[in-house]
Amino acid sequence: MISDYQSFTADLQLSKEDICRELYRQNTDMIRVKKEATAIRSLARIIDSTLRLANTKGFHAMTLRDLCADSELSMGGLYAYIRNKDDLIHLIQTHGFILTRRTLLHYTGAVTMPREKLYEAIKAHLFLSELMRAWFYFSYMEAKSLPEDEKQRAITMEREIEGIFCGILEAGISNGDYRSDNPRLLSSLIKALLQDWYLKRRKYRDQQVDIDTYATTILNLIENHLIP
């Protein structure tokens, strides 16, 4: 169970290194660097820089020269890790998918009561998107210009997440916690609210709304609607 954002951050051994190791091993075909240690270090830098630059000017507007400058690699060096610009997208998306799937399932799997579970799912998604804001932002903003296979992967992931929320609402309706309503529509609305947190992060910072307040506000909004 998650108590608040502080404890979540401590809990989740974010260990970017672990994920980069997995990334490296999954992509030995396109990565031509054989020494794992250096490869992992470079991959982390490449992903980091790409996310930063792409989120500022857009992925297409970001040139590979920009990326090389920011990640402190040469053009030749970069091309040891990717075959072309689209491979960058693949690396980044895979990296985010692994972490998101792992985290959401872990935290919602630990609870069974619908109301409690809804709160856990909201917090897990929100907190994760806070920690990985750059990835969530990238993934949302570049979705429309992804290569076709990546687009499909992204849609599947989206459905999976909305399915989690929808399942919780359905369970709550059938066990009488919630009144009868359209769970699919409501889970879409919850998702929209969760997304606004990382899409319009600055707005909430200006309003001095903190993440725990945001989580409870969403929960209250939904519960006041579903519990007469």
Give the residues lining the site for its own copies (CB under 8 A): 55-58, 60-61, 141, 144-145, 182, 184-185, 188-189, 191-193, 195-196, 200, 203-204, 207, 209, 213, 217-218, 220-221, 224-225
Distance in angstroms (rounded) separating the CA atoms of residues 19 and 2: 22
Helices (H) and strands (E) in the chain, counts: 12, 0
DSSP string, 55-105: HHH-TTTS-HHHHHHHHT--HHHHTTT-SSHHHHHHHHHHHHHHHHHHHHH
Closer to its own copies at the Cβ: 25 or 225? 225
Write the binding mask 19 to 58 for DNA: x where contact by CB under 7 A, - elsewhere: --------------xxx--xx--x----------------
Query: Least Å distance between CB 86 and DNA?
Result: 7
Does 173 contact DNA by CB under 7 A? no
With H, G, I as helix, E, B as strand and everything else as coil, classify residue 28. Answer: coil
Contact 39, 24 (CB under 8 A): yes
Q: Which residues sit at the interface with DNA, rule CB under 7 A?
A: 33-35, 38-39, 42, 62-65, 72-77, 79-80, 83-85
